[in-house]
A and B are shown apart, each in its own frame.
Chain A
């Protein structure tokens, strides 16, 4: 028994040595899709579309390639910029092909595998169907899906990349969407200070942040619950009607009770994703908090969650509470996420080209 034990140990040591040598000579691998310890199980069925190196790289290439738009000018990445946590940096509304303007604020992309509905109105319930909307929207990428399939199938590189990722060079709607999903679900943001505190990774809240966390839990968490900081429900924030009069989820559900409701957005990466609300009408967190304090309009049937004991609507916070709340909200920013070279358009050399 002794000899085999020794030789086993020798083999283990050799293996370990080789692993270290490998790690030293090659790029250290980052996980593509992962479930953070403080997150629930994902909603997206990764079993039906497991993330692979080749699939991720292909999805990323497609995400940043304007070939998906009618005139080769707009990519997914045009309106979903990494530095802005994949929102459209500083834009209230986004402009698509021919400088046409959309009607809603391009939301940030993060933790998409935990969502069961997409878009501000939840009109799409499967991430694999989501890219069809911007690709075919006449004011976004303005293309047709059949044209996209033709362009990809006759491209010098794409058929080979699909062969690597999916074992076939015949590019179909299904495979294009699966590749995009592999990249998109890999956009996991869970390394904010908040996450590190929750996972007890050596970080701790300052006194202001601690107080702010309490204010948050008392006044915000019912609609923005941890760890995603959204309950994914459709609610009206009582925003005064602007000229467009966007009826929100009503446009897809046709349920008059859902008129003017929009999906509760996540508060993660708040610092990077301004301006706020479905139409980007507020440029600062203070403007948002001012709205919740005293700006709620009855015209858009505000959510009952805003109702106060005296019958009025609002979220009153004292100046001290607001200061603390803002300090806490800053702990939701994940700088590693917005700088991660894995997601970077130019960072493709980490994997296949």
Chain B
């Protein structure tokens, strides 16, 4: 099974390598930048840590004390159909609501007109199984990924949201706290839940992003956390205040796959 999974991952990797490889900052082909600017909201309210109270589809009020998620494996599709896949090693980002700079992801891209952008919410299965030497920076469990890594069940947490809700009965500590730590990449030796989601946003819905000398487009993406609570399965905070490594995590992941939407493409 292990070899099968690795083979599958290898094929995936090869497939992505087959596409025209894009070029990092050192390559002459990367002549411009394209910025993905994430804005976290709860419906039409901007997420404000510890303060505002939002209401989910089950009618439960909640506030947010922690919100962060991994964005990785970014690729862009040009209007001529060419797919530009960012070099994988420089394609892992952790968006943290508490760190404004982390919400601006600036990619080195070749000149071109871009019609769509795709990214993973989470960390691909192959990287989840790599030696530690290949998990530095934002992927280092002692560094950038601290708090976003399960040591007892080796793998990254993709999406983490914590907060309080008056709908929750008091926990042992006497607080009404919810914790959603969603990860699981499909298993190393035997298959398990796979919560990796790939999201594609059609830039043409607003306008084509034009990157080139002196042109550095900014793509603004809204992350609506209310979507996490609604979908084929509505998530009640009162019924499920803690979801981590469990089969139920699948429902949250299915829901949060649809929390991203395109706000604007600004061709600066």
Contact = CB atoms under 8 A, between A and B. Distances in A.
A67 to B, nearest CB: 14
Interface string B179-212: 0000010011110110000000000000000000
Contacts of A42: none
Given A48-B131, A123-B153, A128-B131, A255 B146 contact: no
A135 B151 contact: yes
A251 B154 contact: no
B162 interface: no
A129 interface: yes
Contacts of A251: 153, 245
B151 A136 contact: yes
A119 B152 contact: yes
A173 B143 contact: yes
Contacts of B142: 144-146, 148-149, 172-173
B140 interface: yes
Contact of B141 (A117, A122, A145, A252): A145
A129 B132 CA distance: 8
Majority DSSP secondary structure for residues of B touching A: loop
A254 B152 CA distance: 14
Given A126-B154, A135-B151, A253 B190 contact: yes
A177 interface: yes
Given A144-B146, A174-B131, A132 B141 contact: yes
Interface string A105-149: 000000000001101011111101100110111000000111011
B132 A174 contact: yes
Interface string A161-181: 000000000001110010000
Interface in A63-112: none
Contacts of A116: 2, 189
B190 A125 contact: no
Contacts of B173: none
B154 A253 contact: no
B247 interface: yes
B151 A146 contact: no
B63 to A, nearest CB: 25
A173 B131 CA distance: 11
B190 A137 contact: no
Contacts of A135: 151
Given A145-B142, A174-B131, A254 B247 contact: yes
A251 B246 CA distance: 8
A173 B140 contact: yes
B133 A174 contact: yes
A117 B151 contact: no
A177 B133 CA distance: 10
B14 to A, nearest CB: 22
Contacts of B154: 123-126, 129, 132
A259 B245 CA distance: 14
A148 B140 CA distance: 13
Nearest to A48: B131
Interface in A4-53: 48
Contacts of B188: 125
Interface string B217-248: 00000000000000000000000000001110
Contacts of A252: 152-153, 192, 245
Contacts of A121: 153
Contacts of A148: 142
B205 to A, nearest CB: 37
B189 A254 contact: no
Interface string B138-169: 00111100100101111000000000000000
A126 B184 CA distance: 17
Contacts of A255: 190, 192
Contacts of B190: 253, 255
Contacts of A123: 152-154
A146 B140 CA distance: 9
A116 B133 CA distance: 19
B132 A173 contact: yes
Contact of B146 (A48, A119, A122, A145): A145
B191 to A, nearest CB: 8
A63 B193 CA distance: 34
Nearest to A177: B132
B17 to A, nearest CB: 23
Given A149-B142, A173-B132, A174-B133, A254 B151 contact: no
Contact of B192 (A48, A119, A144, A253): A253
Given A125-B154, A254-B192, 5 more contacts: A136-B151, A145-B146, A252-B192, A252-B245, A253-B190
The 6 closest A-B pairs by CB, nearest first: A145-B142, A132-B151, A174-B132, A123-B153, A173-B142, A133-B151
Interface of B: 2, 129, 131-133, 135-136, 140-143, 146, 149, 151-154, 184, 187-190, 192-193, 245-247
9 contacts: A126-B154, A145-B146, A149-B142, A149-B143, A172-B132, A173-B142, A252-B192, A252-B245, A255-B190
